[in-house]
Amino acid sequence: MDTSISHKNSSIETLRALAVVLVFLHHLHSGANITLPYIAHAGGWLGVQIFFVISGYLIILSAVRYSFKEYAIHRLARIYPAYLFWFFVFSIITKQLTWQSLDLEALSVHLLFLQHFFPLHYYKYNALFVSWTLTVELMWYIVAFACATQFKKSPIKITLIFMGISYLWIFWGAVYFPHYKEMDSNVKHFFVDNNFLNQLPFFFFGALIAIKNPKFDKAGLATMFLLTVVLSSSWKSHFPDPIFITGFGVASLFLMLKDMNYENPKIIRFISEVSYSFYLVHYPVIVLITKITGNKLSIVFFSITVTLLISYLSHRFIEQPFINLSKRKIKEFMPKAQIN
């Protein structure tokens, strides 16, 4: 979900825009009962996985470049201000957050991006609905910086290790997860099967692309994407599914686009630029508009329009000022010789 590094290229723009649109279409289904075949169900997980692979690519480059202080300032300035603002706005609008029902423990969990570790606290303040992915993102930031130097030396080895950890979690993770027996099947799938340990390989696939820059035949990459993503429903039910299998297809899509020389239309560049704010606000916007009108065409039109407008304002007046502030702070840490 990161856009702060200068390694912007058309493939990242394309994938970031595609990811947020897929998630939006999925939530039109879950939030407004407007269904598009396949995308309504697959768009959510596919969009998130695309975001994670892109983040893996960008964040590992940041982790090997900056000191801890510089890195931390970049990360906090990038994701926290917009999240904090819209978390409070929509939690108050939806009346989840009131003085009468204030739960300081649950609120603290959300403000620290730890909500995906605490199911009951997540549901207490879940107006944004997508905030669980920020827990996963935060864990990746920590892991990426901790292993950045070693990863640069042995990217394939470390990626395989985390793939192994992810697969082991499928069989033994439930044993160590609090309150597992009391959870219903949906909650188990959401919080246990999709635990951050299971998500980390997506980031490592992106990081591997950043460090190794592998080259493969595009026909082979297209086949991998077809088998692991498009046809995923045909094999997922037949064996314990480490969710990172579809990551091979997402990474293949990235590799196919990465070496192409093309320029995106303005609308793709715009959606990519505001994608983080778009991602944060789109679900509550869909839900609130659905409460105002039951007309599906109106829901789609106003959900798109309002989300794009809010995203633009959020990016310009919240995200960008804090990104610029972080850049100025980073320059203060750098020796004058580096600045010049």
CB atoms under 10 Å from CB of 42, counted, come to: 18
Range in 100-114, 150-164, 211-225, 237-251 the model is least confident about: 237-251
What interhelical angle do 68-93 and 39-65 show, nearest 10? 150
- The pTM of this model reads 0.92
| % of residues, the chain, pLDDT over 70 | 92
Please identify which residue in the block is written with the tokens 């990626």.
159
Range in 7-11, 27-31, 97-101, 298-302 the model is least confident about: 7-11
Enumerate residues 6+ apart whose C-beta is below 8 A from 29. 35, 36, 40, 41, 43
pLDDT of residue 3: 43
Whole-number Å distance between alpha carbons of 200 and 180: 21
> Residue 223: which region, alpha, beta or left (left: phi > 0; alpha: psi -120 to 50)?
alpha
pLDDT bucket at 311, cuts 50 / 70 / 90: very high
Q: Is the pLDDT of residue 200 over 70?
A: yes
> What type of residue sits at position 194?
N
Mean pLDDT confidence for 141-158: 96
Whole-number Å distance between alpha carbons of 254 and 276: 19
pLDDT of residue 258: 92
| % of residues, the chain, pLDDT over 90 | 73
Nearest to 187 by CA among 136, 135, 118, 140: 118
Q: Is the pLDDT of residue 176 over 60?
A: yes
Mean pLDDT confidence for 201-220: 95
pLDDT bucket at 5, cuts 50 / 70 / 90: very low
pLDDT of residue 340: 35
Q: Is the pLDDT of residue 95 over 60?
A: yes
pLDDT bucket at 13, cuts 50 / 70 / 90: very high
